[in-house]
Structure 1
Amino acid sequence: MPTKTGSYIAGDGEFTRDQRYIATRVTADGRDGFPVEPGRYRLVVSRACPWANRAIIVRRLLGLEDVLSMGVAGPTHDARSWTFDLDPGGRDPVLGMERLQEAYFRRFPGYERGITVPAIVEESTGRVVTNDYAQMTIDLSLEWTAFHRQGAPVLYPPDARAEIDEVNAVVFADVNNGVYRCGFAGSQAAYEDAYGRLFARLDWLSARLEGRRYLVGDTITEADVRLFTTLARFDAVYHGHFKCNREKLSEMPVLWAYARDLFQTPGFGDTTDFDHIKRHYYEVHRDINPTGIVPAGPDLAGWLTPHGREALGGRPFGDGTPPGPPSAAETVPAGHTPLGDAR
Structure 2
Amino acid sequence: MSATYPTAAPSLRSRIGSDPRGGGYYAAPRRYRLHLSLPCPHSLAIAVAHRLLRLDDALPVTLLPAVPDAPDGGYLALDPLYEASAHHHPGPSIAPVLSDTWSGRIVSTHAPDILRDLARRFGGDGPDLHPSGAEDSLDQVGRLCEQVGASARLAGRSDAGAPERHTAVGTLLDTLSVLETRLTSHAYVTPGGLTLADIQLWATLVQLDTVHRPRLSAETVRRIAENTQLWAYARRLAQCPEFGGQLDPDGIEQRRRASDPQAPGAGVPLVDWTAYTSAATAREVPQWPESVCGGADVRPPAVSCD
Mapping of 1:180-329 within 5 angstroms? Answer: 180-184=153-157, 186-241=160-215, 246-247=220-221, 251-286=226-261, 289=263, 295=266, 298=269, 300=272, 321-322=289-290
In the alignment, what sits opposite 1:332? Answer: none
Q: 1:268-302, CA deviations, whole angstroms, 9 ceiling, x for partnerless residues?
A: 1111111111111122234x52xxx8647548279
Cα distance between partner residues in 2 of 1:115 and 1:106: 12
Cα distance between partner residues in 2 of 1:17 and 1:182: 20
Cα distance between partner residues in 2 of 1:164 and 1:209: 15
Contact 1:27–1:144 (8 Å) recurs in 2: no
Contact 1:51–1:133 (8 Å) recurs in 2: yes
In the alignment, what sits opposite 1:35? Answer: 26
Code of the aligned partner of 1:79: P
Which runs of no fewer than 5 residues in structure 1 stay unpaired?
1-6, 11-15, 84-97, 305-316, 325-343
Contact 2:3–2:256 (8 Å) recurs in 1: no
Cα distance between partner residues in 1 of 2:249 and 2:50: 20
Contact 2:9–2:90 (8 Å) recurs in 1: no
Task: Provide TM-score, normalisation by structure 1.
Answer: 0.71
For residue 50 of structure 2, give the secondary structure of its aligned residue in structure 1: helix
Cα distance between partner residues in 2 of 1:17 and 1:67: 27
Contact 1:176–1:230 (8 Å) recurs in 2: yes
Which runs of no fewer than 5 residues in structure 2 stay unpaired?
277-285, 293-306
Q: 1:283-329, CA deviations, whole angstroms, 9 ceiling, x for partnerless residues?
A: 2234x52xxx864754827965xxxxxxxxxxxx9xx52579xxxxx
For residue 33 of structure 2, give the secondary structure of its aligned residue in structure 1: strand
Cα distance between partner residues in 2 of 1:32 and 1:114: 29
In the alignment, what sits opposite 2:280? Answer: none
Cα distance between partner residues in 1 of 2:73 and 2:273: 33
Q: 1:227-279, CA deviations, whole angstroms, 9 ceiling, x for partnerless residues?
A: 10021233322111366861256553211111111111231111111111111
**Residue number among 22, 37, 51 corresponding to 1:46 in the alignment:** 37
Cα distance between partner residues in 2 of 1:167 and 1:233: 16
Contact 1:81–1:100 (8 Å) recurs in 2: no
Cα distance between partner residues in 1 of 2:290 and 2:41: 22
**Residue number among 147, 165, 170 corresponding to 2:139 in the alignment:** 165
Contact 1:195–1:244 (8 Å) recurs in 2: no
Summarize the Cα distance change of 1:256–1:170 in structure 2 as closer, same or farther, 3 Å threshold.
closer
In the alignment, what sits opposite 1:70? Answer: 61
Cα distance between partner residues in 1 of 2:86 and 2:259: 26
Contact 1:117–1:131 (8 Å) recurs in 2: yes
In the alignment, what sits opposite 2:279? Answer: none
Shift of 1:204: 1.8
Contact 1:263–1:303 (8 Å) recurs in 2: no
For residue 77 of structure 2, give the secondary structure of its aligned residue in structure 1: coil
In the alignment, what sits opposite 2:149? Answer: 176
Mapping of 1:62-211 within 5 angstroms? Answer: 62-77=53-68, 78-83=70-75, 99-145=77-123, 148-149=124-125, 152-172=126-146, 174-184=147-157, 186-211=160-185
Shift of 1:137: 0.2
Cα distance between partner residues in 1 of 2:230 and 2:128: 23
